[in-house]
A and B are shown apart, each in its own frame.
Chain A
Amino acid sequence: MREALLSARGVSVRFGGLVAVDEVDLDVHAGELVGVIGPNGAGKTTFFHTLSGVLSPTAGRILVAGEDLTGRAAHVYATHGIARTFQTPRVFKEMSALDNVRFGLEFAGRTRRHAHDAFDEPAAILEFLGLAEVAAVPAGGLTPSRQRLLEIGMALGARPRVLLLDEVAAGLTHAEVDLTAQLIRRVRDELGLAVIWIEHAVRVLMSYVERVAVLHQGRKIADGDPRAVARDPAVIEAYLGDEGEPERRAA
């Protein structure tokens, strides 16, 4: 069995009496595109925070390519190849779009370059994302959907092995989501990245990923092929109280 690029083992996060993430296991391998879904408050974003080192888990371990990084600072995760986006885009507003992408390249991306690709140049990354014409524009002046794309560019600049996407489709039109999803697949194929993609909107995600994990009240209740997961009684049950019928929406 190949070693997982990113591995969460029994990860729990407690805020006082509240258990936000409850003993979640997740292994992700190079080249995988994994979706993580769950109703509001299922602990998706908190789980992401632990995977990127933004938050230390209360219990459990995080391994990156076999190396235990539990409790290390976020920049250590970044230099080990974990890059992420945030739910609300957090671009450096005063810096140009180009400098935003260059930022990752100068730090996390500096220590580890891929064997082959055209992504060593910030301009190439902007080009890839279709943002070439706004390279010199301060990031704060871009439209929200472009800021979302730029965030992916910042993460790509960090030369990741694992890309964590937190609701990149939120607020985008259907066509934009489709474009973004194609983009993500292309990066994954070209660079051989592992991608974990969180989305609140189930239907969107199910059609793009090859594997999906479901979080509910902090626990992982399903993990596998999207079609099988959509038929899982436990998953249907979990969604009933929220927005209902993931089955039909996912089909």
Chain B
Amino acid sequence: MMTLRDSILATLLAALALSAMPWLLSAFALSLTLTCLMYAGLAVSWAMFCGATNYLSLATAAFFGMGAYVTAWGAEALPYGVAVLLGGLVAAAFAALVGAAVLHLRGAYFAVITFGLGELVRHAITYYEKSYAGTVGRVISAPPEAATIYHTVLLLSALAVVTALAVRASRLGLALRGIGADEERARTLGVNTRRAKVLAFSLSAFFAGALGAAMAMRWTYIDPLSVFNPFIGFQTVLIAMVGGAHTILGPIASAVLFSLLTEFLRLQFPYLFLIMLGFLLILLVLYLPGGLASLFARWRWRKSNA
């Protein structure tokens, strides 16, 4: 078993190796790597809260889009790094506020309300932009270089992994696992479940918001439909679940697999790719409900029993 220090060290080494990519890869391959990293960060931060507690949040797109709009609105006035940080903080604050109000709901109710939340924010911003700013979308006039954006997303995703590792090893992580197993039991053993949930939900939203803020620079033109795209939220949930939401390595592996596969299918079968992706998902959910991580566990089990 790897200790917390080993795991963090491994993450940082991997990030260091990946940071050389802008000088090694073609523009196309770099952009593909960027997508992998973005989804790895989103899926790991989603699983940080949802994987442990079994709460199904569909609010990722909402946090991501809020971060993107912080960049879009502040791009002129704020340095890039500050905009990214602020994007994360705004999403985290929003998650804390909303979490305090709706985190007593469970199951389908929580899923539906978090999805509705994303739609609410999207429509609110659309309305504001049309009525007061007189625009549909926003152009980011002076985006930073591709390598800078890549390094930012890499840093955020690596931070998400390190945070997830630290949370898992902490009392907060234990509390979250207790909440996932039996919330009322956890409460009778002294866990302030509301505080733990709001804290973890908000922490996971920080990464989605910051990643949204960073990625907005990459796209240079954003409108509500593209950054609050429910597809981003669903994709994140699916990646985490297919990878194994109670693990950290699972969602990372699955993010890479999904991003490459999506790209490959899109290029090879531009008209069929969504159908094929959907079909693949059904197969995975049917035959591998524990996620990719369960394959690894099974392999390890077989090895130890050989």
Residues of A within 8 A of B (CB): 52-54, 73-75, 77-79, 83-84, 86, 90, 92-95, 99, 102-104, 106-111, 154, 157-158
Contacts and interface: CB of A to CB of B under 8 A. Distances in A.
B177 A74 contact: no
B182 A78 contact: no
A106 B184 contact: no
Contacts of A94: 177, 181
Contact of B190 (A54, A86, A102, A104): A104
Contact of A108 (B174, B181, B182, B190): B190
A107 B189 contact: yes
B187 interface: yes
B182 A158 contact: no
B185 A107 contact: no
B44 interface: no
B174 A78 contact: no
Given A75-B188, A78-B189, A108-B189, 9 more contacts: A54-B184, A54-B188, A74-B184, A74-B187, A75-B190, A83-B188, A90-B184, A104-B189, A157-B189
B59 to A, nearest CB: 25
Interface in B157-181: 171, 174-175, 177-178, 181
The 9 A-B pairs at the shortest CB distance, nearest first, are namely A108-B190, A107-B190, A78-B190, A74-B187, A92-B181, A104-B189, A90-B185, A75-B187, A75-B192
A31 to B, nearest CB: 23
Contacts of A52: 188
Interface in B2-59: none
B193 interface: yes
B186 interface: yes
A99 B187 CA distance: 16
A13 to B, nearest CB: 17
Interface string B199-240: 000000000000000000000000000000000000000000
Contacts of B185: 86, 90, 92
A103 B184 CA distance: 13
B242 interface: no
Contacts of A83: 188-189
B181 A154 contact: no
Contacts of B187: 54, 73-75, 78
A83 B181 CA distance: 18
B188 A78 contact: yes
A102 B191 CA distance: 13
B181 A73 contact: no
A109 B190 contact: yes
A201 B174 CA distance: 36
Interface in B252-297: none
B182 A154 contact: no
A158 B189 contact: yes
A92 B188 contact: no
A107 B177 contact: no
B190 A93 contact: no
A158 B190 CA distance: 7
Nearest to B194: A73
A84 to B, nearest CB: 6
Contact of A107 (B184, B191, B194): B191
A106 B172 CA distance: 10
A212 B193 CA distance: 34
Given A74-B184, A92-B177, A92-B181, A106 B171 contact: yes
Contact of A75 (B177, B182, B191): B191
